[in-house]
Amino acid sequence: MKRNISALALLTLITIGFYSNAQNTPDENRTKNIILMIGDGMGIPQLYYTMTAVADNLNIVRSTNTAIVVTRSANDDVTDSAAAGTAIATGTKTNNGSIGVDTDGKPVKSILKLAEENGLSTGVVATSDVTHATPASFIANVANRGQASEIAAQFISSGVDVFIGGGYDTFAKRKDGKNLVDSLKAHNYQVITSPEEVASAKGDKVAGLLYPEHAPRMLDGRGDMLSTSTAKAIEILSQNDKGFFLMVEGSQIDWGGHDNNIDYIRTELLDFDKAVGVALDYAQKNPQTLVIIVADHETGGLTLVEHSVTKGKLEPEFSTEHHSASPVALYAFGKGADMFKGLIDNTDIFKLMLNAYQFKNSIK
């Protein structure tokens, strides 16, 4: 009888131990980390032109899944970066010029905010002022993208762990007399103010305000700021065992489109692609990571015209100095990449990221 009791007790202990271990094992079906790469203004022609310039040798083509994304805003077939960024970040259509609010001006939560609420670390990297439309869409809630001073103030209370880009003057040289750099330090951010400081940045919270305004162009010698900052952000954020969310923007592909300058576009896209390579390399080594590469819209109405191929060289033509209504491509790699397929709306990107994370709490 004692032998039977002992055997039953042993079986019970094994069962309890197995159940306990199962409860403590991370859900392998859940995406732990998302790295969202936004090539601002990067239409398919911009990408294909750049591919031909490097004999198809781009990191983006390492992606395993693709989708086509419709970009229109709530009030126009041609979106701006504020409305497009808000759609991607929050899953909500809004009017051009608005950031982090719906068409009634009501604040809506971004995927970055929801990641924070679920204990994940978060970050934003850009080659623009960090208060510019796309990065701001993940951080702030304002009626107008021009409210840079208010957007900067919302960075302080946002809880974002790492942000790197330009915009020092937006934080430090303000009409209201406030020095938000001091506020960042009071909130335990390590503040760095030059690209040379990025690689050596340490700690859990880093505010990189590397330039007075926007970063210089690649054509003007910006160097590896974007890929180095992407690697540093991943290094810091990945210390959180629960996972992280990181948005990285190649901001100035768009500006090359506005200038109808194909060399500006090509060099900025190649730089963005180098940062994409950093993200994909991390995802290959960390299989619970999802990398999404997408444009917020197309800029310049770029066309690679018929009979333009001469000895392997493509001749681009622009139809506008503004954005176009052309759908853009999305490329995905890693955990959850197979969800991205077909023709989708830009608001679906948020919904699919939320589905990948499998957060238990609902959107409030």
Active site (catalytic) residues: 81
> For the chain, percent helix, then strand, then coil, each to nearest 5?
40, 20, 40
Which residues on adjacent β-strands are paired with residue 244? 33, 121
Rg of the Cα atoms in the chain = 22
Q: Return the SS3 of 252.
A: coil
Q: Kindly give, in sequence order, each residue whose CB lies less than 8 Å from that of residue 92, ignoring residues fewer than 6 positions away.
A: 86, 102, 108, 347
Please check whether residue 273 is in contact with residue 59, taking contact to mean a CB–CB distance below 8 angstroms: yes
- Name the phi and psi angles at 166, rounded to 5: -95, -175
Output the six-digit token pair for 245: 């969310």
- Residue 208, class by beta-carbon neighbours within 10 Å (0-12 exposed, 13-18 middle, 19+ buried)? buried
Give dist(CA 254, CA 268) in Å, integer: 9
Q: Which structure tokens are listed for 114?
A: 């929801």
Of 330, 332, 236, nearest to 31 by C-alpha is: 332
| Residue partners of 2: CB distance under 8 A and separation at least 6 | none
Strands in 65-70's sheet, in edge-to-edge order, are: 190-192, 206-209, 162-166, 121-129, 244-250, 33-39, 289-294, 328-334, 65-70, 343-345
Cα–Cα distance measured from residue 316 to residue 309, given in angstroms and rounded to the nearest whole number: 10
Burial 90-102 (b: 16+ CB within 10 A, else e): bbbbbbbbbbbbb
CA distances (Å), origin 68, targets 43, 94, 202, 283, 346: 11, 20, 38, 22, 9
